[in-house]
Amino acid sequence: MHDDQLPVPPTGDDERLPARRDSSLPTPHRPGALSVEMLAEERGDDRDEIDLLAYWRILVKRRWLILGVLATVAALSLLLTLMATPIYRATVVMQIENEEQTIVQVGGVAAQGADPQFLQTQYELLKSRTLAERVADDLDLDSAALARLSQPGWLDRVKGLVRPAPATSSGIPTEKDAAATLATATGVVQRGLSIEPVRNSRLVTINYDSPVPAFSARAANALAEGFIASGLERRFGASSYAKTYLEDQLKTTKARLEQSERQLVDFAQKENLVSSAEGQSLAGQNLADLNSVLATAQEQRIRAQARWSQAQAASGAALPADMLSNSIIRTLQQQRAQLQGTYQQKLQVFKADYPEMQQLKGQMDDLDKQIALELRNIRASVKAEYDAAASQERLLQGQLNSLRTQALDVDGRSIDYNIIKREVDTNRQLYDGLLQRYKEVGVAGDVRSNNISIVDRAQVPRQRFKPSLPLNLAIGLLLGLILGVLVAFVLEFLDDTLKTPEDIEQRLKLAVLGIVPRLVKQSPEEAVKDLRSAFSESYRSVRTALQFSTDHGVPRVLLITSASPAEGKSTTALTLARNFAQMGKRVLLIEADLRNPSLHKTLGLRTDVGLSNLLAGVQKMSEAVIDTEDARLKVILAGPLPPNPAELLSGSKLVSLLTIAAGNYDQVIIDGPPVMGIADAPILANVADGTMLVVHSGKTRISTAQVAVKRLMVARAHIVGSLLTQYDAKVAGYGYNYEGYYAYGGAPQLTKR
């Protein structure tokens, strides 16, 4: 169909569009896709970012599933907790000191190194089967007691129903039966035992769990006592061997010590060596003392030499203050200064040869002589001190040289002596160590030497240890929440349907012209009559959006189709036709679904003439047009169903029909068939001025809708956008009240022409 075949009669309606668009227009999909792409650019969409709001919507949408899984897991946890056998725990606190059982110790150094895994070894010994057998034998458990202690849990009871235990033979207990009973009791003891070290301490707790509270305390105490007894038995065994070994070593070491001591005394007498209590020779000790005295003398000489150098360097009476501290030179200098002042004062009155002046001059000369004499005495004293210190240093140095020669001679002769002496000391230390260890081994059986002790004995527990109802419920709630969220996300990601407007924009690249909410209590006919309903307002919003879908307003010939059947296209076509009629337009609604028409049922109309008759050329258009309750709205029903609708739609009759309809009516709305599976919808989309795709929220699959859009694009359809129907914002996770949104401001005011 081309523009030259579809003349448009002049009309005063500015919104009237050509009956057929130009084939030179851009691709049919571009307007919708372009708007979505521009919207995405304005939003700055980044697929790499995590959309937390989208995840929250998924959780809100699947909230009942999550709550159901949560309640199921919590109920299962409660049921398993109530069905489980109560277990009581008794606890013994023990102290384990890290002490090595060394056999030989020399000079405080143990022959055996420290064991860093000592405590871990003790923990494993507590878990050993040998200790469990010992405790089981001490407890003397019979078959009845074992039956009480081996109460099966719910899982064991289920296994017992599936696979019953073999029957036991009755009669006199045999040795084999006793061994089996002991093995069973050992398993019971091991199964209920648990070890918990106390961090940063030498304490360890022995826990025993069983269904019988009294037995838990009894078994825990028996384990602690059995562990101590087994440790003592191991120590007794080691002590018996160590005592015999140490006796032999003591005899050998004692004989070696006596021989080395006699050899040391004989050598000292032969070499005439005398040593101090510390083992040093007398010559060496005197040399050390004299060396200390010489160091003091050198210090005194250096100090005296420094004083003498200062005294020589000083001119006149400018001696250091420490040299003048014990002299009268300060007094003489003061007297000299006073006489000098008196002389200068009287010199202004008398001449120098005046007798009184000559007397003052003589007194000053005497004082000068006394000062000079005192200075010479001080220098002589400093010089004498220096000479005495130097002389003492020389004497001590000579004596030191003499003692050094003697000490070297003694040291040369003491080498063999020291070797023998070290051997004597070593033998003595070995002997003392062996003797001390022999005494320790002799009292090893004393319980006070045991490094393991009981701090707190086990008491009969009053409350059960497990199962813990609050803990199990908390774990059940947590696991149920995690499992529910996981199931919700899995179902959401497996759900490949279009649910939200964002899905349509992202998956189909189509602009969403409107959103029709899902009806719960009303039918579409009832909802349309209620002008305040969200359903009515949503279609009025779609009508407004269609006015801006192209640069000429609403497409003159508008096809309403969907990807699959039963998505709401017939309801949409009828409702939009009524809305356009309410605006004062002359509207023609064509039921173009020639395979499964439903519009006539909604309108309650019945006729034998319809679209199929017009396309077959057996009827005129005026005979097929049917009036409705609204005088502005006319309808052409499908008519008799043809055997091959695609052939009828492909003919030139359809183009002529739409050309005439576009010339006689302001708006032509085609209720088309679904796109998938048949060729009818692409044929209608090719001849229509605009096509709107209806998408059922939560029902239309993404792949199906994408294929439908591709088929329409191949048919060069002008897709103006899409309409999302049956949308439930709360189910989709948005929680948006569309009813309140569309009803904001009261009922809309309709205008008529």
pLDDT digits 0-9 by tens, 692-748: 999 998 888 999 999 999 999 999 999 999 999 988 776 655 554 444 445 454 443
The CATH classification number of 282-442 equals 1.10.287
Confidence of residue 42 (pLDDT cuts 50, 70, 90): very low
Mean pLDDT is lowest, of 106-115, 606-615, 616-625, for 106-115
Confidence of residue 438 (pLDDT cuts 50, 70, 90): confident
* Largest CA-CA distance found in the chain, in angstroms, rounded: 181
* 735 contacts 568 by C-beta, under 8 angstroms: no
The number of helices, as runs of H, and strands, as runs of E, in the chain is 26, 14
| Adjacency order of strands within the sheet including 88-96 | 193-197, 203-210, 88-96, 452-456
Residue with tokens 């609403």: 554
Global pTM reads 0.51
Confidence of residue 751 (pLDDT cuts 50, 70, 90): very low
DSSP state of 3: G
Q: What is the per-residue pLDDT for 671?
A: 92
Paired strand residues for 514: 723
Q: What is the per-residue pLDDT for 393?
A: 78
The domain locations on the chain are 17-45+498-741, 282-442
Q: What is the per-residue pLDDT for 186?
A: 80
| Most confident segment among 17-31, 183-197, 523-537 | 183-197
Instruction: Give the residue, 377 or 654, on which the prediction is more confident.
Output: 654
CA atoms within 13 A on the CB side of 223: 36
Comparing C-alpha atoms, which of 669, 487, 498, 507 is closest to residue 578?
A: 669
Q: What is the per-residue pLDDT for 601?
A: 84
Residues 6 or more apart whose Cβ sits within 8 Å of residue 154: 80, 83, 84
Confidence of residue 107 (pLDDT cuts 50, 70, 90): very low
Mean pLDDT of the chain: 76
Can the peptide bond before residue 597 be classed as cis, meaning omega within 30 degrees of 0? no
Please provide the DSSP assignment of 292-337 as one string. HHHHHHHHHHHHHHHHHHHHHH--TT---TTTSTTSSHHHHHHHHH
Mean pLDDT is lowest, of 90-104, 186-200, 393-407, 577-591, for 90-104
pLDDT digits (tens, 9 = 90+) for 265-280: 777 777 666 655 555 5
> Which amino acid belongs to residue 62?
R
Asked, colleague to colleague, whether 17-45+498-741 and 282-442 share their fold, the answer is no
Instruction: Give the residue, 593 or 368, on which the prediction is more confident.
Output: 593
Could you tell me the two tokens for 579? 């809305």
Residues 6 or more apart whose Cβ sits within 8 Å of residue 92: 205, 206, 220, 221, 223, 224, 454, 456, 457, 458
17-45+498-741: CATH topology: Rossmann fold (3.40.50)
Comparing C-alpha atoms, which of 720, 732, 741, 742 is closest to residue 512?
A: 720
Give CA separation, 408 vs 289, 402, 405, 413, 710, in Å. 16, 10, 5, 9, 115
Judged against a pLDDT cut of 80, whether residue 472 lies above it is answered with yes
Confidence of residue 559 (pLDDT cuts 50, 70, 90): very high
Percent of the chain with pLDDT over 90: 13
Residue 686 sits at the vertex; the CA angle it makes with 683 and 691, to the nearest 5 degrees, is: 105
At how many degrees (to 10) do helices 355-442 and 329-346 cross?
160
pLDDT digits (tens, 9 = 90+) for 310-329: 667 665 555 665 666 556 67
Confidence of residue 478 (pLDDT cuts 50, 70, 90): very high
Phi, psi of 462 (to 5 degrees): -100, -25
DSSP state of 506: I
